């Protein structure tokens, strides 16, 4: 979805075929409905009754009403006739949810930046320039603010400077809840002998050390009454949290058996205990079917991987499609987390 700063600019834009748009129902007719295309000024699209819902639609007003917000897919754009054809039934429930959430995030981010502009005494041009720079660095305006809510030095770390960073960061912390999840695991530790207490202490220290170098993951061990111990993990998603849990269990076991010194544990040690430890590092991740998201898939293992998104459905993804993806991969300049030559 494209954003603009003035109505005239928005009216000059056209959506692309296949794009998912958040729309507002403007008028309902017997054969279809006119929808306002949010983000494109006063531009409208039309959805025929046969594209409103799966199956036969007897009464279109049972599905659509004026003022209703819907997610529609652009199926045809005819600029010469000033016409955009849309389909509502072509949007799955999952993609509808994702698109609406992205749109809501964009609206929230824009509102936060408007408040920041008022506090920093920016004009519209200055606000747009700062916002565009943040989008360039973080991928989206909401993503930038989300990073600020998680790490107060996010803007400075990305190369920004100025007193305005404090204003934006404070607003982000106040208005955006970072996407973290928490899981809990229970395990028993029994060590017989005079060194049992020290051995258990070192085992717990080994478990906690697996995430020492991971800023977004916290892992703490708690005593629940011998021989029961609890591990609490907080991470951006369940996939990463579960990876930390599995690694912590394995490292704790190795430490209890005297095979690992807790002081020697680092990120490479953690990596050696993950599910893909025995495989080469992931260079390229391919996501098919037009889905531009990762769904929390292998987040630890693909930290420095290249992503390739395509519209081709998975059953149709053949050798030719793979060749195109590989050629695209080889055309890229991989930086492995570096920015301007520095990590």
Q: Is the pLDDT of residue 133 over 50?
A: yes
What are 144-159's pLDDT values in tens digits? 998 898 888 899 999 9
What are 210-259's pLDDT values in tens digits? Answer: 666 566 778 888 777 777 778 888 887 677 777 777 777 777 777 666 66
Tens of pLDDT, residues 97-116: 889 988 989 999 999 999 99
Report pLDDT for 301.
77
Per-residue pLDDT, 273:
63
Work out the pLDDT band at 91, boundaries 50, 70, 90.
very high
Q: Tell me the pLDDT band of 27, cut-offs 50, 70 and 90.
A: very high
| Tens digits of residue pLDDT in 49-60 | 999 998 888 899
Q: What is the pLDDT of residue 54?
A: 87
Statement: residue 341 has pLDDT above 60? no
- How does the average pLDDT of the chain come out, rounded? 82
Mean pLDDT in residue range 320-325:
92
Check whether 298 has a pLDDT greater than 70.
Answer: yes
Q: With H, G, I as helix, E, B as strand and everything else as coil, classify residue 201.
A: helix
What is the DSSP code string of 118-180?
HHHT--HHHHHHHHHHHHHHHSSHHHHHHHHHH-TTHHHHTT--STHHHHHHHHHHHH-----
Name the DSSP class of 16. Answer: P
CA torsion 77-30-40-118 (nearest 10°) is -170
Q: What secondary structure does DSSP assign to 220-277, as a single string?
A: EEEE-STTEEEEEEEESSHHHHHHHHHHHHHHHHHHHTTS--GGG--HHHHHHTSTTT
Compute the Cα dihedral for 318, 320, 323, 328 and give only its sign: negative
Q: In 3D, which of 319, 238, 321 has the Cα closest to residue 287? A: 321
Instruction: Report the pLDDT value the prediction gives residue 270, as an integer from 0 to 100.
Output: 63
The whole-model pTM stands at 0.51
Name all domains of the chain by residue range, CATH numbers in brackets: 7-91 (2.40.50.140), 95-175 (1.10.150.190), 181-272 (3.30.70.1130), 284-330 (no CATH)
- Going by C-alpha positions, the residue among 133, 64, 142, 73 that lies closest to residue 101 is 142
Q: How far, in Å, CA of 109 to CA of 131, rounded?
A: 10
The per-residue b/e assignment along 190-218, b for 16 or more CB within 10 angstroms, e otherwise, is eeeeeeeeebbebbbebbbbbbeeeeebe
Task: Kindly report, residue by residue over 15-24, the tens digit of the pLDDT.
Answer: 999 999 999 9
Q: What is the pLDDT of residue 5?
A: 42
Q: Is the pLDDT of residue 89 over 90?
A: yes
Q: What are the angstrom distances between the C-alpha of 268 and each of 36, 102, 239?
A: 52, 35, 18
| pLDDT value of residue 232 | 85
Q: How far is CA 144 from CA 3, 97, 131, 237, in A?
A: 16, 21, 9, 18
- Taking the C-alpha atoms of residue 210 and residue 213, their distance in angstroms, rounded to an integer, is 8
Q: What is the pLDDT confidence band of residue 41, given thresholds at 50, 70 and 90?
A: confident
> Percent of the chain scored above 70 by pLDDT?
79
């Amino acid at each position: 979805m494209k954003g603009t700063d003035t109505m005239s600019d928005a009216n000059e834009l056209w959506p692309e075929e296949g794009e998912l748009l958040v729309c507002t129902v403007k008028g309902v007719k017997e054969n279809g409905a006119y929808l306002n295309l949010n983000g494109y000024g006063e531009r409208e699209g039309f959805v025929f009754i046969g594209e409103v819902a799966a199956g036969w639609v007897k009464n279109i007003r049972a599905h659509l009403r004026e003022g209703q917000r819907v997610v529609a897919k652009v199926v045809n754009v005819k600029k010469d006739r000033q016409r955009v054809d849309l389909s509502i039934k072509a949007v799955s429930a999952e993609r509808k949810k994702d698109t609406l959430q992205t749109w809501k995030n964009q609206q929230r981010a824009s509102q936060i930046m408007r408040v920041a502009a008022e506090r920093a005494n920016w004009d519209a041009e200055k606000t747009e320039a700062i916002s565009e720079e943040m989008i360039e660095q973080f991928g989206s305006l909401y993503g930038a603010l989300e990073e600020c809510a998680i790490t107060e030095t996010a803007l400075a770390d990305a190369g920004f400077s100025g007193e305005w960073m404090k204003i934006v960061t404070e607003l982000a912390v106040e208005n955006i809840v970072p996407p973290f999840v928490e899981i809990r695991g229970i395990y028993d530790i029994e060590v017989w002998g005079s060194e049992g207490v020290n051995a258990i202490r070192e085992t717990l220290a080994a478990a906690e050390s697996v995430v020492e170098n991971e800023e977004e993951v916290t892992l703490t061990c708690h005593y629940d009454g011998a021989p029961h111990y609890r591990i609490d993990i907080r991470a951006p998603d369940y996939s990463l949290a579960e990876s930390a849990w599995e690694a912590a269990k394995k490292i704790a076991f190795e430490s209890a058996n005297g095979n690992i010194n807790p002081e020697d544990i680092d990120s490479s040690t953690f990596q050696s205990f993950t599910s893909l430890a025995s495989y080469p590092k992931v260079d390229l991740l391919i996501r098919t079917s037009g889905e531009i998201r990762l769904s929390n898939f292998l987040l630890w293992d693909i930290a420095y991987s290249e992503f390739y998104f395509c519209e081709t459905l998975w059953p149709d993804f053949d050798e030719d499609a793979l060749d195109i993806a590989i050629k695209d991969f080889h055309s890229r300049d991989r930086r492995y987390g570096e920015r301007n030559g520095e990590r």
